[in-house]
Amino acid sequence: MQPTFLPAPLHRAALRLAHRLRNRWRRWRRVPLAGVSLVLSDGAGRVLLVRHSYGPDLWALPGGGIAAGEDPLQAARREALEELGCEIADLRELDVVDEEISGSPHRAHIFAGRLTGAPVPDRREVVEGRFFAPDALPEQLGRLVRPRLALWLGSEQA
């Protein structure tokens, strides 16, 4: 769970500042990163997208960084619980992608699964979560969403 000693509005402001500083640090240091990206469905073929309190005002997939020594599968489960208050059923890894994020090399472990229960955004890091049909996605999508959804759709049809 996220720390709750800060009021949510102050926590969101701190996250926005930390996001900007982290991006500058990454561009300068080019430290390799590892993270998880979650394609989570509701069992009816719709996918969950979230809006974060920091960064551009775009819809994105839930996910986050992998802690030192943490297994990617455990990181995926932890991120869903922290950000959405939900467990994941049928969790499976779709792919591992090497890319660049914020000027640093990034290894993304892309997972798919089904949420058990209704997502409840933490209102600190994630301010909104909504399910969308793959053919009715919002226009304001993060640049990594469509390629990751294509992996998921390909795995669902296989």
Domain locations in the chain as residue ranges: 8-157
Q: Which tokens sit at 132?
A: 């969308």
Place of tokens 């890894």: 93
- Note the pLDDT tens digit of each residue in 58-88: 999 999 999 999 999 999 999 999 999 999 9
Could you tell me if residue 14 is left (phi over 0), alpha (psi between -120 and 50 degrees) or otherwise beta?
alpha
- pTM of this structure: 0.80
Among 39, 45, 141, 129, smallest CA distance to 83 is for 129
Q: What are phi and psi of 61, to 5 degrees?
A: -85, 145
Domain 8-157: which topology? Nucleoside Triphosphate Pyrophosphohydrolase (3.90.79)
